[in-house]
Each structure stands twice: as C-alpha cells, then as structure tokens.
Amino acid sequence: MRNTLFVLALCVAAILVGALLFFYNPKDLTGITDQSAQVVNAPIAATSVTYAVLESGEYAQEVTERTNVAARDAESFARLWKMAHGDTQLAFPAIDFTQEYVIGVFAGEKSSGGNMIEVTDVSDLGDTRTFSITLTAPGEGCLTSQAITSPYQFIRVPVSTHYLKAVDTTVTTSCE
C-alpha cells in the first residue's frame, strides 16, 4: 500500500511539473526576450540533390495508374525494371545500392502520344527528400499519335534515409 501511494504521488508531481512547463512562457526559460526575430531571420533553404536520368520511355508495360516507386536494392530494382519493360530480356544497368538508389515515376496510361513525365528537381529539407515531377500533356490542336502510351522515367539519386515526397505539376503544351 505504501509503495502504491508513493507511485501515485510521484505521478501527480510529474503531471503538475509537466503542466507548469506547458503553460509557462518558454522564452523566460531561455533568457531571450525576443525569439521571434531570431526565427524569422534564420535561413531555411532546401539543399539541391544531384540526380541522373537513367532512362525515359513512352510505353511502360505493366503500369496503368500514376505512381512513383523507389528501388533501394537489386531485387526491388528488378521489379521496377519489369514494370517498365515487362518480360523482355532487356538487361538493366548495374547500380551500386550502397551509394545510390533508383526512383521510377510513371504517368499511367494515356489515350494518345505527346504525354511526358519527368523529374525536374530533387531537394532535401529537414528529414524529407522532395521530388518535383512535371507531367506534360498535349494541348488543343496538337498533332499526336492515337496510340495508348504510358510514359515513365527512372532517375538515380544518392542514398539517404529521408522520407520521400513527390510534388506533381501538370503542364499543357501549346501547339497553336
């Protein structure tokens, strides 16, 4: 019983200290009276990440929906390669997965030619790696093939433990 009361008192004290710290003004704890000026002036900029285009194509064999895939090892890269090339025996490039990994971006099935997908920028900010992706569609009056296409692109990026985020931008080509 005595131990139970001691643990209960310790819990109540911890809750009170936590509430005090929560409601107490944090700037008083640091001794700095104007923290907002320091935060506003602090530069926050994304770091550009170097990447290389590995391959682009118009006919992904096994992808009909818009999707992005990261391949961080040889086995997942083989699956990614198959998404674009199907069962063809096309040899895929050697990748040193201790140094880099591959991102595949797929536009999904399109009803005509003239569609493209491309990674236009890769940047790191905090714990997030952002991929800027541009989807290009033919505009009114553009002459295009009337074949079903499925554009894709593979890029190589340096290894990281960042969370991945894709930002899509859609652009329409003017043909008039």
**Residue at 42: amino acid letter:** A
Same domain, 34 and 108: no
Tally Cβ neighbours within 10 Å of residue 107. Answer: 25
* pLDDT at site 74: 94
Same domain, 70 and 129: yes
Same domain, 17 and 74: no
Same domain, 19 and 104: no
Sign of CA dihedral 163, 169, 170, 176: negative
Same domain, 60 and 105: yes
**Is this model's pTM higher than 0.75 or not?**
no
* pLDDT at site 113: 87
Same domain, 37 and 114: no
> Tens digits of per-residue pLDDT, 18-49?
765 666 555 444 444 444 444 555 557 889 99
Same domain, 136 and 58: yes
What's the whole-number mean pLDDT along residues 65-70? 95
Q: Give the number of domains in the chain.
A: 2
What's the whole-number mean pLDDT along residues 44-58? 92
Residue 172 CA, distance from chain mean position: 23
> Tens digits of per-residue pLDDT, 135-171?
999 888 788 888 899 999 999 999 999 999 999 999 9
67-71, strands of its sheet edge to edge: 52-57, 152-158, 100-106, 67-71
> Tens digits of per-residue pLDDT, 107-129?
999 988 889 999 999 999 999 99
Helix (H) or strand (E) holding 166: strand 163-173
- Say how far apart CA 169 and CA 107 lie, in whole Å: 12
Same domain, 128 and 61: yes
Q: Which of 108, 116, 91, 103 is nearest to 172 (CA)?
A: 116
Same domain, 17 and 57: no
Same domain, 55 and 112: yes
* Structural domain that includes position 86: 47-173
Same domain, 116 and 169: yes
Residue 131 buriedness (CB in 10 A; 0-12 / 13-18 / 19+): buried
- Say how far apart CA 29 and CA 97 lie, in whole Å: 46
Share of the chain above pLDDT 70, in %: 85
Same domain, 11 and 72: no
